[in-house]
């Protein structure tokens, strides 16, 4: 079942299809209701960030299996402007678009593992994992 699925994010409707995919995969893996909601919300945040800041990019979702530990990994990739101050975007309430500024720190709290890599003018790669308990 190690099939990676990707959704291109170009407009707001793609956000919906990205989280639909995430919800289906999470359900298949056996995540409970709450974790399904967490995963779809995290995907929604990441996809919206792509749409808002990079314009286009993609969300890849893959089931992972590490020494019998099962989980779901979300990877958000874009070739957008990058994030200048990563430490700041991880603070609650920091926003450059007039939103709540809870997106990225929120995703980190929703998921179990979180990593972010970004180079200015090159792009951003965020990966987040949720383990099945």
Partner 1 sequence: MIVQMVNENQETLKNNWIKEVNLFKEKELAGTTLKFSDETDQQFFNMLIKHINYHDISKDGTLDEFFDQVLHTGLPLSYITQGLQAARRVIVNFLVKTEMDKEKLASVYREIDRWLDPILNQVVENSSQIWERTVSIQKTALLELSAPLIPVFKNISVMPLIGSIDTERAKLIMENLLNGVIKYRSEVVLIDITGVPVVDTMVAHHIIQAADAVRLLGSTCILVGIRPEIAQTIVSLGIDLSLFPTKSTLQKGMENALEITNQQLISNK
State the residues that interact with partner 1 by CB under 8 A.
Answer: 12-13, 15-16, 19, 33-34, 36-38, 40-41, 44-45, 48, 92, 99-100, 102-103, 105-106, 109-110
Instruction: Determine the 3-state secondary structure of 68 from DSSP.
Output: coil
DSSP letter at 117 equals E
Comparing CA positions, the residue from 77, 40, 74 lying closest to residue 56 is 77
Q: Which residue lies nearer to partner 1 by CB, 5 or 41?
A: 41
Radius of gyration of the chain (CA): 14
Q: Which residue lies nearer to partner 1 by CB, 100 or 120?
A: 100
In sequence order, what are the residues at sequence separation of 6 or more whose Cβ sits closer than 8 angstroms to the Cβ of residue 133? none
Least CB distance to partner 1 at residue 122 (A): 25
Least CB distance to partner 1 at residue 105 (A): 7
Residues 133, 120: Cα–Cα separation, whole Å: 37
Least CB distance to partner 1 at residue 72 (A): 16
Other Cβ atoms within 10 Å of 101 Cβ, number: 17
Q: Which residue lies nearer to partner 1 by CB, 2 or 76?
A: 76
Q: Which residue lies nearer to partner 1 by CB, 62 or 112?
A: 112
């Amino acid at each position: 079942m190690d099939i990676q699925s990707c959704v291109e994010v170009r407009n707001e409707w793609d956000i919906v299809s990205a989280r639909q995919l995430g919800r289906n995969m999470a359900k298949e893996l056996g995540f409970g209701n709450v974790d399904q909601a967490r995963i779809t919300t995290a995907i929604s945040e990441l996809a919206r960030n792509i749409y808002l800041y990079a314009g286009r990019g993609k969300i890849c979702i893959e089931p992972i299996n590490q020494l019998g530990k099962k989980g779901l990994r979300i990877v958000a990739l874009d070739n957008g402007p990058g994030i200048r101050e990563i430490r700041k975007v991880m603070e609650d309430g920091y926003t450059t678009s007039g939103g709540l500024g809870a997106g990225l720190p929120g995703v980190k709290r929703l998921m179990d593992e979180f990593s972010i890599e970004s180079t200015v003018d090159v792009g951003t790669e965020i990966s987040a994992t949720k383990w099945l308990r």
